[in-house]
Amino acid sequence: PVKLTVEPRVTLLDALRDYLDMTGAKRVCDRGNCGACTVIMGGKVVYACCVLAIDAQGKPIQTIEGLAPASRLHPVEAAFVNNDAQQCGFCTPGFVMAAKGFLDRNPNPTMEQVKEGLGGNLCRCGTYMGIRKAVLEAAKQMKGAANA
């Protein structure tokens, strides 16, 4: 738990980046169009630029920084590496968080479901095929870990 005192107009993205030094979520469009600021709040995938920090009060917030223990990769992160699902990397944290949230709701997706499920995130480098393959690989890894 973290306690902050911020003005009512401060967004969750600004609170994370400017007050907590958690810079994984990126400011790109600042309008909820690109998904670079995606985090998971209360189990729901949200754009941090569109949520006021005050509305996040009392809710668990998961960012890329807290996705896996130190020096280890979450299966989604590892799958992104394995599938060259990043180029410049700017959109990657948002995509990873969107993929994590998507797989939490849909642990056995098809390629078409992945395409639709991550439709709210944009990649200027165009690594969509690698991203989609990474999500399918992560689904298998997460399913295998759950059965182990």
Question: What tokens does 88 get?
Answer: 């410049």
In DSSP notation, 22-77 reads: --SS--SSSSSSS-TTEEEETTEEEEGGGSBGGGGTTS-EE-GGGSS-TT---HHH
Q: What is the mean pLDDT of residues 78-102?
A: 96
18-69 confidence digits (pLDDT tens): 999 999 999 999 999 999 999 999 999 999 999 999 999 999 999 999 999 8
Q: What is the 3-state secondary structure (H, E, C) of 6-23?
A: CCCCCEHHHHHHHHCCCC
Q: What pLDDT score does 70 carry?
A: 86
**In this model, does residue 129 exceed pLDDT 80?**
yes
Q: What pLDDT score does 1 carry?
A: 86
Count of other CB atoms within 10 angstroms of residue 31: 9
Rg over CA atoms, the chain: 15
Q: What pLDDT score does 69 carry?
A: 87
Q: What pLDDT score does 96 carry?
A: 98
Q: What pLDDT score does 66 carry?
A: 94
